[in-house]
Amino acid sequence: MNDSIDGLSALVTGGGSGIGLGSATVLAADGAHVTICGRTEEKLVSAVDRISPMVGGSGSISYVVADICDEAQMDAAVASASERTGALDILFANAGGSLHLGPIADADIAAVRATIDLNLVGTAISFKAAVPAMKRAGGGSIIGMSSGAGHFVHRYLWAYGVAKAGIEMLCRYTAEELAIDGIRVNAVQPGIIDDELMEFITAGGPLLDDYLAETPIGRVGTVDDVASAVRFLAGPGSSWITGEMLAVDGGHHLRRGANYGLLFG
């Protein structure tokens, strides 16, 4: 089967670092016209400099500053990503993060709302912005960013987990609705990944030990592990897959979630 994405247009949110940067690199290396977006221009410029030597085929790499929680900015980001081909073929809605950690009884509700807005609402806005441009392309692939925490319980990581669980249902609903338009919607569920966001864990300590004890393939994941899964879901090789949540976690989902209470001593 031809799994080429050469010449296709792609938008990667949160593309300035970590999994977003790694995935944008793989897509561009395989010939896609990749646009990365995020809120910090300096980080995006640095990412483009890193990706540029890796671009393959007829691909390209560019950036646009945009906040996924702002509809107008995301419309502009999709328009920028569509400039070369007139449409959008691939969206990796990667941007997100956790702004709350701790017991429900002590919750900072403002931080809970911010976590849900950043992850779930921001992803919904990204999907909404991408759909018209994907319809112009005659179809496409949307990939959401979930987490093991959105699939099974990680103690005290509940606000983030609830937001990611919402993304998974968003992906399922969108997959069912948009299949008629040739648009597939899936998500990845990374486990513990050795990147900037997880460095406070992967540097070592009881929480890392807990992750590894509950991960059958007993190592932390890499950005490339997730980027390879994103590349698969983006391309024609996954053309009969939609509404799927793909765990990229070394088997962590087969056991129990991590205990973030270990951060509190």
Q: Count H helices, E strands: the chain?
A: 9, 7
Of 74, 88, 81, 184, the residue nearest 137 (C-alpha): 88
Give the pLDDT of residue 265. Answer: 72
Q: Which residues of the chain have pLDDT under 50?
A: none
All domains of the chain in start order, with CATH: 9-246 (3.40.50.720)
C-alpha–C-alpha distance, residues 188 and 224, integer Å: 13
Task: Tell me, yes or no, if 173 is annotated catalytic.
Answer: no
Give the pLDDT of residue 1. Answer: 64
Residues 6+ apart with CB under 8 A from 117: 69
Give the pLDDT of residue 127. Answer: 99
pTM of the model: 0.98
C-alpha–C-alpha distance, residues 3 and 45, integer Å: 29
Q: Is 99 helix (H, G, I), strand (E, B) or coil?
A: coil
User: Which candidate in 160, 173, 211, 260 is catalytic?
Assistant: 160
Give the pLDDT of residue 227. Answer: 98
C-alpha distance across the termini of the chain, in Å: 52
pLDDT digits (tens, 9 = 90+) for 209-241: 999 999 999 999 999 999 999 999 999 999 999
